[in-house]
Structure 1
Amino acid sequence: MVVRVRQHVNPLSDKYQIPTPPPDWQKIYASLDRPLHLDIGCARGQFVWEMAAQYPDWNFLGLEIRQPLVDRANEICQELGLTNVHFLFCNANNSVEPILASLPTGAFQRVSIQFPDPWFKKRHQKRRVVQPELVAVLAKYLPAEGVVFLQSDVLAVAQEMVDRFAESPSFQRQGHEWLPENPLGVATEREKLTLGRRDPVYRAIFTRS
């Protein structure tokens, strides 16, 4: 089944200003004792469910602002019989904090933000997902040594994400160069497409200080 949706969604429009309430996690995951990986802007979710299948000792949560993609991703996970993964329709910029606050203490251990919408026009760049407010929320809930993984095929976007996290005293970049490979071992659809064209991908990892 092919789900056709708009490629770009404006997170600042009125329809996305009400935060999505967190679900009852007891009804979502088979076990709440596992560490949780949050993927912000998961698109169709293939990266998330492939990670869930490969790492059954982790729970995975994908956030996406396009609801048809979320609905289909959850259907696929049910078809695959995965009990350690879930997808939520939400605007990450106003829903991440209530979601993280509702999780069991200490569960949130890792977050990835991969190939976010670049919003090239300068007047639209305020729509980009990695804003100082999001960095502050992640710093609030990510424990010491928690991991932030960033990647983009647009250098300006990757650099802006790195700069946002580097500006926070709560995060420390691991190394000073772009990572040559994806350390998670599972590629997103966009990553596969980019590498297939032999175009560069700009990657960085931060840890919570």
Structure 2
Amino acid sequence: MSAETSSKRQKREDYKKSLNKVDQNASLPKKKFYRQRAHANPFSDHFLTYPKSPSDMDWATHYPAFAVVNRGLENADYESHDLGNTSSTTTITQPVEIADIGCGFGGLLFALAPKFPNTLLIGMEIRTSVTEYVIEKIRALRTQHLSSPLTTPHNYQNIACIRANTMKFLPNFFTKHQLSKIFLCFPDPHFKQRKHKARIVSYTLNSEYAYVLRPGGIVYTITDVEDLRGWMVEHFEKHPSFRQVGEEEVEEDECVKVMRTETEEGKKVERNGGKKFVACFRRVEDPPWP
């Protein structure tokens, strides 16, 4: 490791520690301290933790404003009022409904939060430092709102971010038909043919999206690579659980307008004068069993 690399790492660690100070709680994190290479191998272990099933997922820690404590009694002696054997669990008042898969630095999350104030949104990102950035920014924005609720447009209590590899563990987080919207914004194109198996859209993965997405729900995709757009359209169209949304409806969708302008990659494409290719797919009703 070079001295320059070691110095940069030390500066990053010192900066992150400074965010824990009381007087820094409302400071927005600086993106330059959370930069990380864009590519991550989805087939690697990555030392991830994930729930065994959706019922094991602790959502309450991510959405404290929506958390409720359920208190129960185990073998309590009501006649003697012996309530020593009590238990309690913390849950949330409503399920997560919108997932931004590969959320990056969270631009889409922060833009959608005020548009869906009564809906819980989750960003899912595989890169460690990028995930830390989004979590720190959410914390800072929530703190700012508590200190000046009249000037902050939204309290950001309805968004959260977790580190996850959705290509492996998506059904571990969500129950069948739980989600209403899934966003796949500027996914890694994996240009080489031998790398196509690592693309976030495939016939197999589309079955998982169909499982967690409710009928009528929509998968939103955007890319600046026209060939990748064709790949995603091809694989969603051949899947029996999805139908492509018409162009007129796509153009009128408020989420599409936000998706085009608010992600970091989208802004980069805009600065470079590139094109953005959007395609949306609706989850259809499952056919009845014969």
* TM-score normalised according to structure 1 size: 0.88
**Contact map agreement 1:5 1:66 (CA 8 A) in 2:** yes
Number of equivalent positions: 205
Matches of 2:194 and 2:37, distance apart in 1 = 20
Equivalence map 1:80-99=2 (5 Å) = 80-81=141-142, 82-99=156-173
Work out whether residues 135 and 168 of structure 1, in 8 Å CA contact, stay in contact via their aligned partners in 2.
Answer: yes
Instruction: Spell out the pairing of 1:18-97 with structure 2 (5 A cutoff).
Output: 20-21=50-51, 23-29=57-63, 30-31=65-66, 32-33=93-94, 36-81=97-142, 82-97=156-171
Give the 5 Å matches for 1:1-209: 1=30, 2=32, 3-13=34-44, 15-16=45-46, 20-21=50-51, 23-29=57-63, 30-31=65-66, 32-33=93-94, 36-81=97-142, 82-101=156-175, 107-175=178-246, 183-184=254-255, 185-186=257-258, 187-209=262-284
* SS of 1:48 mapped into structure 2: helix
Distance 1:78 1:18, change over 3 A: closer
CA gap of 1:91–1:35, structure 2 versus 1, over 3 A, is closer
Secondary structure at the counterpart of residue 214 of structure 2: coil
Calculate percent identity across the aligned residue pairs: 29
Write the deviation string for residues 19-41 of structure 1: whole angstroms up to 9, x where unpaired.
62264113322334366210111
**Contact in 2 for aligned 1:16/1:90 (Cα 8 Å):** no
> Structure 1: how far apart are the matches of 2:219 and 2:202?
14
Structure with the larger RCO, 1 or 2 (CA within 8 Å, 6+ apart): 1
Query: CA separation of 1:78/1:17 partners in 2, compared to 1, >3 Å: closer, same or farther?
Result: closer
After TM superposition, the score normalised by the length of structure 2 is 0.64
Instruction: Tell whether the 8 Å contact from 1:60 to 1:86 is kept in structure 2 after alignment.
Output: yes
Listed as ranges, the gaps of 5+ residues in structure 1 are: none
Alpha carbons of 1:195 and 1:4: their partners in 2 closer, same or farther (altered >3 Å)?
closer
Q: Give secondary structure in 2 for the equivalent of 1:146.
A: strand
Root-mean-square deviation (CA), in Å?
A: 2.4
Paired residues of 1:118 and 1:157 also in contact (CA < 8 A): yes
**Could you tell me how far apart the structure 2 residues matched to 1:33 and 1:42 are?**
22
Counterpart amino acid of residue 166 in structure 1 = E
How far is 1:88 from its partner? 1.2
Task: State the one-letter code of the partner of 1:71.
Answer: E
Whether the 8 Å contact between 2:177 and 2:215 is mirrored in structure 1 is no
Q: Go from structure 1 to structure 2 and tell me whether the alpha carbon gap of 1:122 and 1:181 turns closer, same or farther (over 3 Å shift).
A: farther
Deviations 1:58-84 (A, max 9, x none): 211111110111111011101111211
Q: Which amino acid aligns with 1:64?
A: E
In structure 1, C-alpha distance between the alignment counterparts of 2:253 and 2:180, rounded to whole Å:
18
Aligned-partner SS, 1:137: helix
**Contact between 1:20 and 1:91, CA under 8 Å: does it hold in 2?**
no
Q: Deviating runs (4+, > 6 A) in structure 1?
A: none
Distance 1:107 1:137 in 2: 12
Q: Which runs of 5+ in 2 are unaligned?
A: 1-29, 67-92, 143-155, 285-290
**Structure of higher CA gyration radius:** 2
